[in-house]
């Protein structure tokens, strides 16, 4: 590809990213509106004509790696492995 072709693709990519962000913002606004309605009604589930909307409390347990590193640094180092990845950026 020529530099001009890459520039054009980057411009198209930036426009798509802008549109995606705009759509995500609208999506989040609609979700927040529905969540507020459920909260104001103090319910976790609502059945409409076509949909069932749920907002349930989920409890999950996760490892506190910072506390584990503080309490057992040697153990953490023993079971820590490096990962390799590549990052794609456009500036």
| DSSP calls for 10-29 | HHHHHHHHHHHHHHHHHHHH
pTM of the model: 0.67
Q: Is the pLDDT score of 6 beyond 90?
A: yes
Reply yes or no on whether the pLDDT at 19 is more than 90.
Answer: yes
Residue 73: helix, strand or coil by DSSP? helix
pLDDT digits (tens, 9 = 90+) for 77-90: 999 999 999 988 87
Model confidence at 21: pLDDT above 90: yes
For 29-83, how does the pLDDT look when each residue is reduced to its tens digit (9 = 90+)? 999 999 999 999 999 999 999 999 999 999 999 999 999 999 999 999 999 999 9
Yes or no: say if 76 and 64 are a contact pair by the CB < 8 Å rule: no
């Amino acid at each position: 590809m020529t530099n001009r072709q890459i520039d054009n693709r980057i411009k198209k990519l930036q426009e798509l990213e802008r549109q995606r962000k705009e759509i995500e913002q609208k999506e989040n606004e609609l979700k927040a509106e529905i969540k507020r309605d459920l909260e104001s009604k103090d319910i976790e589930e609502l059945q409409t004509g076509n949909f069932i909307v749920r907002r349930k409390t989920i409890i999950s347990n996760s490892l506190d790696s910072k506390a584990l590193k503080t309490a057992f640094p040697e153990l953490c180092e023993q079971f820590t492995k490096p990962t390799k990845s590549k990052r794609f950026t456009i500036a």
